[in-house]
Structure 1
Amino acid sequence: MWCWCCNKKEMASNTSLLSEDQFLCPICLDTFTRPVSTPCGHNFCITCLTSYWDNEPICQCPVCKETFERRPNLKVNTFISELASQFMLLHATDAHIWSPDQVKADGGAVLCDICGDIQQAAVKSCVECLTSYCSVHLEPHHRAAGLKRHKLVEPLANLEDRVCKEHNHLLASFCKNDKALLCDICASSLHVNHDVVPAQRAHREMKDLLADTEARVQQMIQERQQKVQATKESVKQSKRETKDVIANSVRDLTALVSEIQRSQAELVKGMEERQKAAEEQAGGFISSVEQELAELQRTAMKMRELRQTEDQLHFLLDFPKASLLPPTMDLSTFIFNRNLEIQHVEKCLSSSVSQLRMLLVKMNTEINTSSASNDAMLTYLQRYEVNVLLDPDTAHPLLILSNDRKQVRYSMGASLWRIQNLNPNMFTEHLAVLGQRGFSSHKFYFEVFVSQKTEWCLGVATASVQRRGALVRSRHSGLWAIWFLEDKFETFSSPGKTVYLGKVERVGVFVDYHGGEISFYDVQTAALIYSFTECVFTEELYPYLNPCDNEYGSNLDPMVIVPVSRTA
């Protein structure tokens, strides 16, 4: 056991012969934390060496490459551990174990705690006494036998906060598992299997994490400011357009008979109500985002204040244990598309006055329903239609493809030849098939006719999606799909969570690769079934069709890739 005794000056001179490099682990290049020795005589942190051997096919020394037939039974080398600890204590100031608030708040040196009216600068701090001494009051520690065994370090302010209250050793390590500061004895006894690192490394890593999170908060603030500004501009523009449409409508309709006058009143009322509703919706959204902005700005200020804290102890104690980010809404869920409806109304009113009587009923119906903007959106997406052919090499043995490779259906009897000659690209458990062509840029769209099928799954998958065995239903599976079961929809990645109710006959699939979005539409009603947003794609995406079996009743109808109908 290392003993602090006798001649302090001789001790300091002896330790000056040692360099910090002698106490660095060859793997992590930091001061030893619970060091162990290999049979060949080299020293490492126990966690570093264990992790190294876990990732290597053979057990060998990382330094000299000597191979061991059996993994050595590692035990902490207490001598090296104590030596490294005492070396860190002697060099506490130079090594920056605790940083610059070793000085008083007024910027002066650490003062002697014993001096009376005129306090002198301290030359040493005693870990046992938890007191700082000037050269005069330190003298008993050099003379008295009992005091000679006390541990002296460079002057430290708030010494009692930097020393383990149980073992009177300097708090020089940090446990990542328990988020706690430790002395060397705590680390080697109570936190044996925990991830323990030097305090300065923990400070550096957590400060980097705080900086990254603060940058993310700033980005979120900027995104929300831009979204609010864009929404305000859209509201202003839609308000101007609404006024223009109302004025034009009034001008044309007032020239007609009572039928037209009635339509005029209904048009003005409907447009104003929808504009008011749109403004209220936008106002509610703006209010919510502005509240988020205020919260994010407060969070950013707190993070900035915390990041400027140089006292590692206070920094680590004050570091939030919960999530650094406050809860926020998904900005992509709000789209102010009032202009589409306004353009639709204006198009109707520009028609020939001579045809107005025949169009009045249709016009009022379209104005008073919400399908207009949905129709316009779906029509826009259909411009990105691509030709999809199915790849027979990927089809499950129980699936039958049509000759034109546009249809796929489930067959209760598998082809013996296909079972005996399984293709490595073939799905073996999921009744699925991929498209022959993959897409890795821009936008694309295709439609699938599902008729009255009782169960099916449709979407897009990566080229590396698992083909052999069961595919785990999670957001990391490489498959973005909706699953229809009898009368409801759920996503492949969230089993049991209903996202849409009702049956559909024709489904449109739209993918914005760079925008990270995949959306599914009921083509007949132009209604959105579900959207995956904020996705990150790193591979080509292939259309994915799964006609499923007869678990929910007769389900032998095919899934058919059909061309887009643009009769509207």
Structure 2
Amino acid sequence: MAEAPLCGLQDEFTCSVCLDTLTDPVSIPCGHNFCLKCLTDCWDQSQECSCPQCRENFTTRPALRRNNLLNEVIKKLKKTTISPPPLPPTPPPQNYAGPGDVECDFCTSKKFRAVKSCLTCLASYCQTHLQPHYEGDALKHHKLVDPDRNLKEKLCEKHQKSLEMFCKTDQMCICMMCGMTEHNGHKMVELEKEREEKQRQLGATLSDIKRRLEEREKTLKETRRAMQ
């Protein structure tokens, strides 16, 4: 009788860092669970302490204690006849990050090449660590873009939020918090719409420059013929 409900909860017992069944599970203040070693390694390699799943930042590093109840449930899960979820396939050698590639922020040993960057999490992911963004309800609405090594430049220095708007009044990129505070009442548009408008303006300018160059080249040829 216990096997059916446990089967439906298999994902709840998976660490989102190593994508395997939790080992020595620990819980952090935001409510997410990870393997003790995975979380320790992740925090030891970062200058800030944040949840690898929801990216919530903690001002002080939380003390990690094993979740005994969850640990016992996982032990019982392993004793059932349910087969554990298959491990993700090992990426081929060409997926390792090379010179010029954007590295995955969550690979703890040899870094794999990132296939997407998340503008919401401000992190880059290899194919394996990107899967929670496609499967988890909390992450699937995040904005994914091609790998970008300059994610921090897309962050508002004042509010530490993504730059999503363009203030036409002040001619600068702003976050949503800026739009509700010091830029309140200004003329604002979505950053993507402003980028498209700037591209159209640049295209028109380049066409005009090209036309003028062709006219000057024609005038120069006529002058040379007259001199001859």
TM range (shorter): 0.3 to 0.5
- Work out which of the two has the higher radius of gyration on C-alpha atoms and give 1 or 2: 1
Higher relative contact order (CA 8 A, sep 6+): 2
With the length of structure 2 as denominator, give the TM-score of the two structures.
0.43
TM normalised by structure 1 equals: 0.19
Structure number with the higher strand fraction is: 1
